[in-house]
Amino acid sequence: MIPAEFDYEVASSVDQAVELLGSSDDAKLLAGGHSLIPLMRLRLARPTLLVDVGRLSDLSYIREDGDTIAIGALTRHHDVQHSDALKKSCGILAHTAGLVGDPQVRHRGTIGGSVAHGDPASDLPTVLLALDAEFVSKGPDGEKTTPASGFFTGLFETALGPRDVLTEIRVPKLGSSSGWSYQKFNRRAQDWAIVGVAAVLDKQNGSVGSARIGLTNMALTPMRASAAEQALAGAAPDSLGGADQAAEGTSPPSDTNASAEFRQHLARVLTRRAVEEALAR
């Protein structure tokens, strides 16, 4: 289908983007366009104004900053995947960016667009939730920083206001005692996840010290598997039964790919696999 009529402006700075967002009732930012344009073509989104931030090259960077790595919101999935800093100190993010869609999607789509879109089937928000990332945004009232735990508020909804521009994502550097894994279950390579599980562990003497586990496509938002996290704390590699609690509190969709029950089964199986891989890594 052809999108409904809209106006189009190119922003030359974040401040100008904030201003332009306030100039129309239903204005939307356009970054890589790989989520928004398909929705517009289906007329599920009908913005009156598109504010194109795709050329704000100063929002495309990956910088080490003490114990954290700062990633500009306009950084493409391809650049996240191939970043030496991320591969060395936050491997789960580089690895998972390489699992997003196909090469064309990864060369156009941005990490900020993926986060701001708020789709519970997206891979990177789940990983950022498990990493306890922080999201920096700028709006009419200035800059604010939101923890990942408070960012994803509903289906395609986030803590960003209608005039907020996400500018930066901050992730912690993972130390030598950390282990990680992202398990993406799909039927065909390059498809969206039917279920995904991100595990970030602090390891102690080969066992789980503490576990942070994120789930993709198991609720209206990406979510943490809190019961499994608690049950797995202190677990040895041969006693990972706590993974069986990964589906507690979930409310996954039923669709042509999988029933809700099958998704809950997958969450348990993938959590065990993720923890095993994270312990071995």
Among 18, 35, 72, 214, binds ligand FAD (CB under 6 A): 35
The rounded distance, in Å, linking the Cα atoms of 279 and 148 is 24
Binding segment (CB under 6 A) for ligand FAD, from list 23-31, 200-208, 219-227, 271-279: 23-31
When asked if residue 123 is in the footprint of ligand FAD (CB under 6 A), the reply is yes
Binding segment (CB under 6 A) for ligand FAD, from list 116-124, 147-155, 222-230, 267-275: 116-124
Restricting to residues 46-75, which ones interact with ligand FAD according to CB under 6 A? Answer: 53, 73
Q: At closest approach, how far in Å is the CB of 188 from ligand FAD? A: 11
Using the minimum distance from each CB to ligand FAD, give the nearer residue, 124 or 197: 124
Among 117, 144, 173, 273, binds ligand FAD (CB under 6 A): 117
Of 247, 245, 200, whose CA–CA distance to 223 is shortest? 247
Among 32, 72, 214, 242, binds ligand FAD (CB under 6 A): 32
Q: At closest approach, how far in Å is the CB of 231 from ligand FAD? A: 28
Q: At closest approach, how far in Å is the CB of 71 from ligand FAD? A: 12
When asked if residue 31 is in the footprint of ligand FAD (CB under 6 A), the reply is yes
Q: How far is CA 208 from CA 7, 36, 177, 199, in A?
A: 53, 40, 10, 11
When asked if residue 100 is in the footprint of ligand FAD (CB under 6 A), the reply is yes
Site string for ligand FAD, 189-208 (x = CB under 6 A): ---x----------------
Q: What phi, psi does 66 have (nearest 5°)?
A: 65, -125
When asked if residue 33 is in the footprint of ligand FAD (CB under 6 A), the reply is yes
CB 89 within 8 A of CB 174: yes
When asked if residue 166 is in the footprint of ligand FAD (CB under 6 A), the reply is yes
Binding segment (CB under 6 A) for ligand FAD, from list 27-35, 64-72, 219-227, 229-237: 27-35
Among 11, 29, 199, 200, binds ligand FAD (CB under 6 A): 29
Using the minimum distance from each CB to ligand FAD, give the nearer residue, 36 or 195: 36
- Which residues sit opposite 168 in a β-bridge? 72, 136
Q: How many residues bind ligand FAD (CB under 6 A)?
A: 29
Count of CA atoms in the C-beta half-sphere (13 A) of 133: 27
Furthest C-alpha separation in the chain = 60
Interacting residues with ligand FAD (CB under 6 A): 28-36, 38, 53, 73, 100-101, 105, 109-110, 112-114, 116-117, 122-124, 160, 165-166, 192
